[in-house]
Structure 1
Amino acid sequence: MSGALAMRVRNMRLSGRIGLALVLFWLVLAVGGPALAPHPVGAFIDQEVFSGPGRTFWLGSDYLGRDVLSRVLWGSRYTVFLALGAALLAVLGGTSLALFSAIRGGWTDEILARAMDTLNSMPSKIFALVLVAAFGSSLTLLLLIAAFIYIPGNYRIARALAINLVAMDFVQVARARGEGAFHIARYEVLPNMIHPLLADTGLRFVFVVLLLSGLSFLGLGVQPPYADLGSLVRENISGLPMAAPAIIVPALAIASLTVGANLLIDALKPGGKA
């Protein structure tokens, strides 16, 4: 298994390897970054605000004199894990509904398809703002809201795949054998959807990162004392005229994470090899 994975990585084009390196970099920082933070995340350690990089503060200080490096290391944890958790929940929920819809067919398929089309037609950020205003913005609620918003998008893709597979001969043979709906979904249809669904999971991850960062920039995302990368951009917006690292670094972190994920997704698509 590890040999096959190493071979696949070697066969990736350069952009895919760059994307993989960026994604792994931010994943490692999300897991171990807080332990490497040189200062407590909320400690006021600099008498100056928006100071530049130096030997004491590698990435300078923010608008309150806190260490930017420590803030970014902690913020990356919330950005990566909230986005990853929401993306996985969205794909799990959307794919489960799509399999149920495709196998049952008839009015069940019609009702679910129309309901998901209705939800999918709503602008994601506006929908998120309404839900956050109604239910609040705790970490758990943000995770569930972000997952709920992107279930319809995954459902549409998974349903299109499942509908095509359900019509295949091997599925009809399974039905003729008397296999139940769960067996057909789990063992006949789902294994043939894995590759496209992996790519879609990556896309959902990117969408959720941008959604959560946008909400945090508006002050409706991750709330103090927690902070994600979007929050770090918002709270240091006054440092933009002086090009303070406190605002540039988290903005570049969001950009590198999303660009890296997109490059990796593109490399994982069929035909994505060099």
Structure 2
Amino acid sequence: MNILIALLWIAVVAATAMGAGWLFRGLVVKVARGSAARVFRTAPLTAGFGMLVILVYVLVAVFAPVIAPFAEREVVGAQFLPWDSTHLLGTDNLGRDMFTRLVYGARNTVGIAFATTALAFTLGASLGLLAATVGGWLDQVLSRLVDILMAIPSLIFSLLLLTIFGTSVVTLVLVIATIDSTRVFRLARSVAQNIVVMDYIEAARLRGEGLWRLIAREILPNAMAPLVAEFGLRFCFVFLTISALSFLGVGIQPPTADWGSMVRENATLITFGDITPLLPAGAIALLTVAVNFVVDWMLYRASGLKE
């Protein structure tokens, strides 16, 4: 009986998600014009749902001070108060409003993850494209250095570096961006190596194009599709890494609201059957799934496959 109820709930949630994706896709098609409308019209319902979820997260992050009923670090009541009209999701282990912390967590966790991913891509893609274009000893030195860094498990390496250099937000961003840039380097180098042997690249060299102009004008536009798709996947990995480090106590530090640390701080409630600690975990999982839905669609379009 319980299994049937669980399956029914899953079916209801899936149908609601697909319905929301269908409505959002239809709205985007009506608003968009020309080729953009044609692109969104062919998007699957999963991609529509993913874009809707991402948009909601962005709006919550941007308008967090307007949405949240209390200040991010304000103690508003006793510890672990139940859900009520004043505290929609109760209070945490220090008496702070959980709904407020959840809203501000979208700004902090997602914002820091996006900044880290952007830095990792800037560093990794630049060096990867440079290594493939120049070749020779530069390619060998950078590739062997990346191989050494990738041989160390990323989570253990992150814990080690954060223990040595501290756990400030700047250090967290720099450490994770440096580690993740190795993955971006491998992809950018692999894609660029297939491009630099093309005839139009040789023609650009004969025209006297400079190195960085050659990369920016000829190589990067042709490598953009897989790099954009990888950006979405890499964002998910960075997002989960930051949440995991915060859960372990070496990520985003209190009193800053963060979904990973919120799970750790309120985990004791699970013992009493309270699902409140699962809400930030669910927020992490939902965004990860949504981004993957959109990335899958982008990879499908970039592959040139047709149904």
TM-score of Structure 1 vs Structure 2, range by shorter chain: over 0.9
Q: Which residue matches 2:47?
A: 16
CA distance in 1: counterparts of 2:36 and 2:266, whole angstroms: 41
How far 1:112 moved relative to its partner? 0.8
Q: How does 1:66-77 map to 2 (within 5 A)?
A: 66-77=96-107
Do structure 1's residue 131 and structure 2's residue 161 form an aligned pair?
yes
Q: Which runs of 5+ in 1 are unaligned?
A: none
How far 1:46 moved relative to its partner? 2.9
How far 1:9 moved relative to its partner? 2.4
SS in 1 for 2:201: helix
Do structure 1's residue 166 and structure 2's residue 188 form an aligned pair?
no
Do structure 1's residue 29 and structure 2's residue 60 form an aligned pair?
yes
Q: Which residue matches 1:43?
A: 74
SS in 2 for 1:223: coil
CA distance in 1: counterparts of 2:38 and 2:99, whole angstroms: 35
Q: Which residue matches 1:101?
A: 131
Q: Which runs of 5+ in 2 are unaligned?
A: 1-30
CA distance in 1: counterparts of 2:38 and 2:93, whole angstroms: 47
How far 1:132 moved relative to its partner? 0.3
Of stretches 74-83 and 237-246 in structure 1, the one that deviates more from structure 2 is 237-246
1:74-115 alpha-carbon deviations (Å, 9 max, x no partner): 111111111001111111111100111011111111111111
Which has the bigger relative contact order, CA under 8 A and spacing at least 6? 1
Q: Which residue matches 1:149?
A: 179
Selected match of 1:220 from 235, 250, 266: 250
Q: Is the 8 A contact 2:72 2:256 kept in 1?
A: no
Of stretches 128-137 and 223-232 in structure 1, the one that deviates more from structure 2 is 223-232
Q: How does 1:121-270 map to 2 (within 5 A)?
A: 121-270=151-300
Query: Structure 1 residues 107, 40: CA separation in 2 closer, same or farther (over 3 Å shift)?
Result: same
Aligned length: 273
Q: Percent identity?
A: 40
Of stretches 187-196 and 5-14 in structure 1, the one that deviates more from structure 2 is 5-14
SS in 2 for 1:241: helix
1:144-171 alpha-carbon deviations (Å, 9 max, x no partner): 1111110010010110110000000100
Selected match of 1:64 from 83, 94, 99: 94
Query: Structure 1 residues 249, 113: CA separation in 2 closer, same or farther (over 3 Å shift)?
Result: same
CA distance in 1: counterparts of 2:282 and 2:66, whole angstroms: 22
CA distance in 2: counterparts of 1:150 and 1:85, whole angstroms: 12
CA distance in 2: counterparts of 1:71 and 1:5, whole angstroms: 37
Query: Structure 1 residues 58, 265: CA separation in 2 closer, same or farther (over 3 Å shift)?
Result: same
How far 1:48 moved relative to its partner? 5.2
CA distance in 2: counterparts of 1:5 and 1:211, whole angstroms: 34
SS in 2 for 1:269: helix
Query: Structure 1 residues 48, 218: CA separation in 2 closer, same or farther (over 3 Å shift)?
Result: closer
Q: Which residue matches 2:17?
A: none
Q: Is the 8 A contact 1:39 1:67 kept in 2?
A: yes
How far 1:245 moved relative to its partner? 4.1
How far 1:31 moved relative to its partner? 1.1
CA distance in 2: counterparts of 1:5 and 1:147, whole angstroms: 32
Q: Is the 8 A contact 1:102 1:166 kept in 2?
A: yes
CA distance in 1: counterparts of 2:228 and 2:222, whole angstroms: 12
How far 1:14 moved relative to its partner? 0.8
SS in 2 for 1:208: helix
CA distance in 1: counterparts of 2:300 and 2:246, whole angstroms: 35
Q: Which residue matches 1:84?
A: 114
Q: Is the 8 A contact 2:80 2:93 kept in 1?
A: yes
